[in-house]
Chains A and B, each alone.
Chain A
Amino acid sequence: MTIATPSGVTVAELPPTTRISLRIADPAAAGLALPTAIGARSAEGARTALCLGPDEWLIEAPEADRAAVLATVAGIAAPHSAVEVSDREITYALEGPAVLDLLATGCPRDLARMPVGSGARTVFDTAQVVLTRETQVRFHLTVWRSFAPHVRALLDIAGRELAADLDRNWLHG
């Protein structure tokens, strides 16, 4: 098994998106087809809902849908909390064959076992992050805005380390 491939991985900051933290005791009452397993994500067009906790969902939608999605959650009749957090965090897209190695420089979870299309809140270095697995080799990492430069700096250092491809320097280099 190659630990790190030289082609490595790319890190790109994604443009802003609409994010809503939706909290509700009974997800069925929301009328939004919310997934109920922690880590599961549902999609309806460009809108996604990621279950982060037993009563917590991260709703994401394109900026253009902001008003519509805010109106949708505001229309939930059952007791709930909907708080817009679009500006709270920054999302990076990490992509490439070495993406698991890149994330393993800071995240203690066994991400190889994370199914495509699912996500989780976890940590990277000392920062809390939300990771979603978009494809086998693409993750989105969402981190609070003020921690983003730190996480980005670490990802860049790790990216250079992967590019140096030390693990091919077999005997005597």
Chain B
Amino acid sequence: MTRYRLPNRGRVDHARPVRFTFDGKSYTGLAGDTLASALLANGVHLMGRSFKYHRPRGPVSTGSDEPNALVGARRGPGRFEPNTRATIQELREGLEATSQNRWPSLAFDIGSVNDHLGSLFSAGFYYKTFMWPRAFWDRVYEPVIRNAAGLGVSPTEPDADTYASRFAHTDVLIVGAGPAGLAAALAAGRSGTAVMLVDENAEPGGALLSEPSVVIDGKPAWDWLATTVAELNALPNVTVMTRTTAIGYYHQNLVGLCQRLTDHLAAPPAGAPRERLWKVRAREVVLAQGALEKPLVFDGNDRPGVMLAGAAQTYLNRYGVRVGDRPAVVTAHDSAWHIAFDLAESGTRPAVIVDVRDTVDPALTDRAHALGIETLLGRTVTGTSGRLRVKSLRVNRMENGAVGAARDIACDAVLMCGGWTPCLHLFSHTQGKIDWDAGIQAYIPGATTEAVRIAGAGRGLWGIAAALEDGAAAGALAARDAGREAEAQPHTVTADRTGSGVTLTELPTDRNPAAAKAFIDFQNDVTAKDIRLAVREGMRSIEHVKRYTTNGMATDQGKMSNVNGLMIAADALGKRAPQVGLTTFRPPYTPTTFGAFAGYRQGATFEAMRKTPIDPWAEAHGAVFEPVALWRRARYFPKPGEDMHAAVARECRATRASLGIFDASTLGKIEVVGPDAVTFLERMYTNPWAKLGVGRCRYGLLLGEDGFIRDDGVIGRLAPDRFHVTTTTGGAARVLNMMEDYLQTEWPDLQVWLTSTTEQWATVALQGPNARKLLEPFVEGLDISAGAFPHMAVAECTVSGLPARLFRVSFTGELGFEVNVPARHGRALWERLWEAGRPYDITPYGTEAMHVMRAEKGYIIVGQDTDGTLTPDDAGLGWAIGKAKPDFVGKRSLTRPDMVAKGRKQLVGLLTDDPSVVLQEGAQIVADPTQPIPMTMLGHVTSAYRSDALGRSIAMAVVADGRARDGETLHVPMPEGVIAVKVVKSTAFHDPENARLSA
């Protein structure tokens, strides 16, 4: 038994010790502990150092509002999480935890020198101090600040854990399984409606876990809790999820939940993800998140041992841990009195109860005196002492508004309560209105924008009885709105502890306030005087005060600090709190791992990698791949010892000399069918289609309505009313969407339909002088001789016994065919052609050789040689426009003044003076390389390759008035020097007469 653990108290399992380490030292806690409760049971309060001043800190809370007790938690390689809240991390066997933000040790930290320089580090310090010299920012100030500041250290190894995600749909989602949430779940659940009840804690119960003395429906609170949870679990329409934090509340009742699945397990099962992100769509939401206790703001309110009074109650009643031998209670609210009573009754009599109020309910003082606790009313607290643990409390009498004589009271813990504030974070995410309740001096939820109800302390109703009643009403109403008959069941409560209090700014002091360290935001080390300084320096909006001081911007999202900061800012501004307003809360409610957001999208399932039916063959034959849109495509097929240039040169040479084989399956394919198919294509594409015969193909150019090139591809006519349209690989989905848009919304009268067939067909391209010789024996039902099946012919036939669509097309400038067969047969066809092609030295080539060969022919690639600002004329494709057509998409734009003006960039060829130099794609082009910087840039290189066929480098570029510059020398300035290039107006570098492809 550890020194501060009470036997047989709390909900921990006293029969199950759990071993763990903190900063390398071994400790023992109990099953059911958090790391914080286990350390406190061992007498360890010092758990961390603060962000800016490196002040020693211990836990202030027991939950997700914890600003101080942040640790690193580790479970073997790749499983390290910084900034884990010790109050949330459940103890598990073998847990390795380490403190943060200290060097060389937690107890002796060099960085704490900042604490003594505190006056230098006031609000806006960084903005004011590091302004000059400017060059120092990158090299001196920022690295030093980054090194000294910050909390935990980022993990350096890849995360070894996996994460999950899940969509869910429910009638009623209840956030928070305290008394209000449980009552709501009972009322809604008994109606038969679908209910999800979620809570961020390890078990449901909320405040009931800390207040076992309350009696509900005639049962002790924990018996009632057990009965209620059992009933809910038995209802088939109710799901109860613990360790599940509602992190964000989005439109139309979509709530994001992060569920912690394995962090509490000593040995997680195989295949188990660490966390799961839920996206829950609820018809009705009940927020039963309760209220947050506020610290009191006084000098030294951050020493280890100083904590929220409610936290001490939870440590005592839920975990059986005394937070000290001689705690002192300091409060502005009745609730802390009951905590003092619980402590006294459990054998730890508080040294004193200090209340800032002049009078309290006499029942409280009577009870305190009966328990032998000294009470001091109408006091202020002006300081604490103790380096690594609080040793004493300085208390002053208040006389007629003035601070009177001081008295030091020895203690080893200070339990403070500055009242309670409803937890408005999730409600705030919905942009719901927040109102100031002058009666309880707190912000409460106002008008809603969603189908949501707030129940219990979350709307300022204090006490278990009120929470149960309000929760039951909210649950019943939610179920009714979801279409069920529901009743709010009554609950009887005895021994409830309601109370009231006052809302304050920082406590008055007799000491120099400028020297006080009265903390508001513990994690970001923001003090009361920082807020006042920000106001003095001109910050008027609470949002500006927040950003200037960083109040509320730490990982606890201002759960403890926002209202205290607001009250002090309002006081400094001479306004009332509601005139100043609250800062906006944004998701996530608590820090959430990147893993949870990524979910399954990591590793091999990061995103879909589309592969063609022929991809496995390419992989088996050593292909190097490249991503093209979501596809992976074989880029080249290196032989042993070959680099990319050697492989590509060989592939091009073999194709032009004899025969290349290429997987063109990724090309987009759209089947356009219907009596109005021709009319539709006439309107969509620039080219004329009416006279294209069945069995013929044509290059099609697609513009946007703005006149710029969007896509291109070969279109074949299979029947009078049926076209096989091809698109670029990356443009397939976009083109189909654009076509559907026009068809559905502009020309719904047309009788034509579009079907994507990209993946119906596998496409094998055979290119080279021997292409026909190889293919001919495989083809049945079609004469593919040059005369019978000329360039740009298409036919349906049988190839190697497979139903096929055969195109005679060429993107290389060689005699070429593209064979489309049903996708399941693609690999088989490829392998048969490959085997039969050996006598022709058949060579598989990849996208790189394809790019080189098409550039040798001057064929553009949309998206590489065009960039969304090129017209057909700019790209040298004016010939593709059907001049006689009255209209097509983009036609009107081609005569806009800017489109016909001089100076437009035009696609041209570039030949470097030095044929061995290959230009960089994207390099800028200038006329005079000696002109001063910034130079006048004429255009840029769009494609550049080493051409084996031409024995030199070639390039394509867009250049202002490019075609008029034919023969002109321009320059490409590069870091290594200026490259001289000659402009050629035609990009057809190789076989400009097209003799080869017509063979």
Contact = CB atoms under 8 A, between A and B. Distances in A.
A126 B16 CA distance: 46
Contact of A86 (B272, B279, B281, B822): B822
Interface residues of B, number: 60
Contact of A85 (B264, B674, B755): B755
A171 B203 contact: yes
**Which of A1, A108, A158 has most chain B Cβ within 10 Å?**
A1
A37 B644 CA distance: 55
B893 to A, nearest CB: 31
The list of the 5 closest CB pairs from A to B, nearest first, reads: A146-B610, A23-B753, A81-B673, A160-B271, A81-B753
Interface stretch (B236-244, B522-530, B960-968): B236-244
A173 interface: yes
A109 to B, nearest CB: 8
A157 interface: yes
Interface stretch (B79-87, B600-608, B634-642): B600-608
A102 B273 CA distance: 14
A90 to B, nearest CB: 10
Given A55-B753, A145-B759, A126 B824 contact: no
23 contacts: A1-B236, A1-B239, A21-B755, A23-B674, A25-B751, A79-B751, A80-B674, A88-B757, A88-B759, A88-B760, A105-B164, A108-B167, A112-B169, A126-B607, A144-B759, A146-B610, A149-B611, A150-B607, A150-B608, A165-B269, A172-B13, A172-B16, A172-B32
Contact of B264 (A79, A125, A161, A172): A172
Interface string B731-762: 00000000000000000000111011111110
B272 A164 contact: yes
B816 interface: no
Given A108-B279, A146-B612, A166 B753 contact: no
Contact of A16 (B607, B608, B824): B824
B233 to A, nearest CB: 9
B572 interface: no
A149 B759 CA distance: 14
A38 to B, nearest CB: 15
B213 to A, nearest CB: 22
Interface in B743-795: 751-753, 755-761
Contacts of A169: 261, 265
Contacts of B31: 172
**Which of B32, B600, B760 has most chain A Cβ within 10 Å?**
B760
Interface string B666-706: 00000101110000000000000000000000000000000
Nearest to A127: B608
Given A1-B237, A110-B281, A172-B264, A164 B271 contact: yes
B888 to A, nearest CB: 22
A93 interface: no
B182 to A, nearest CB: 16
A134 interface: no
Contacts of B757: 83, 85, 88
Interface in A60-94: 79-89
Contacts of A161: 164, 271-273
A154 interface: yes
Interface of B: 13, 16, 31-32, 90, 162, 164-169, 202-203, 235-239, 241, 261-262, 264-266, 269-273, 279, 281, 600, 604-605, 607-613, 631, 671, 673-675, 751-753, 755-761, 822-824
B755 A153 contact: no
Contacts of A147: 608, 610
A172 B93 CA distance: 10
Contact of A157 (B162, B261, B631, B759): B162
Contacts of A43: none
Contacts of A107: 167
Contacts of B608: 125-127, 146-147, 150-151
**Which of B238, B752, B753 has most chain A Cβ within 10 Å?**
B753
A91 to B, nearest CB: 13
A52 to B, nearest CB: 12
A95 interface: no
Interface in A129-166: 144-147, 149-151, 153-154, 157-158, 160-161, 163-166
A85 B760 CA distance: 6
A39 B96 CA distance: 54
A116 interface: no
Nearest to B604: A153
A55 B611 CA distance: 31
Given A161-B164, A172-B32, A84 B760 contact: yes
Given A147-B608, A171-B32, A166 B671 contact: no
**Which of A3, A104, A145 has most chain B Cβ within 10 Å?**
A145
Contacts of B90: 172
Interface string A92-126: 00000000010011111110100000000000011
B631 A110 contact: no
Given A88-B823, A146-B612, A163 B271 contact: yes
A4 B657 CA distance: 62
Contacts, number: 138
A86 B755 CA distance: 13
Contacts of B611: 146, 149
Contacts of A85: 755, 757, 760
Contacts of B673: 23, 81-83
Contacts of B13: 172
**Which of A87, A89, A172 has most chain B Cβ within 10 Å?**
A172
B165 A105 contact: yes
Contacts of A23: 673-674, 753, 755
Contacts of B32: 171-172
A121 to B, nearest CB: 12
Given A87-B760, A171-B32, A1 B823 contact: no
Nearest to A126: B608
Nearest to B194: A1
A105 B601 CA distance: 12
Interface string A33-51: 0000000000000000000
A144 B611 CA distance: 11
A166 B261 contact: yes
A1 to B, nearest CB: 5
A86 B760 contact: yes
B607 to A, nearest CB: 7
B866 to A, nearest CB: 26
B165 A157 contact: no
Given A146-B759, A164-B269, A87 B822 contact: yes
A89 B600 CA distance: 23
Given A83-B755, A144-B759, 17 more contacts: A81-B673, A83-B760, A85-B755, A85-B757, A86-B760, A87-B759, A87-B760, A87-B824, A104-B168, A105-B164, A107-B167, A150-B605, A158-B164, A161-B271, A166-B273, A171-B202, A173-B265
Given A157-B600, A157-B605, A173 B264 contact: yes
Contacts of A88: 756-760, 823
A149 B751 CA distance: 36
Nearest to B170: A110
Contacts of B162: 157
A101 B166 contact: yes
Nearest to B677: A81
Contact of A164 (B236, B270, B631, B759): B270
A8 to B, nearest CB: 11
A97 B169 CA distance: 18
Contacts of A79: 674-675, 751
Nearest to A108: B167
Contacts of A108: 167, 279
Nearest to B665: A146
B89 to A, nearest CB: 14
Contacts of A158: 164, 600
Contact of B600 (A84, A105, A165): A105
**Which of A107, A110, A166 has most chain B Cβ within 10 Å?**
A166
Contacts of A86: 760, 822
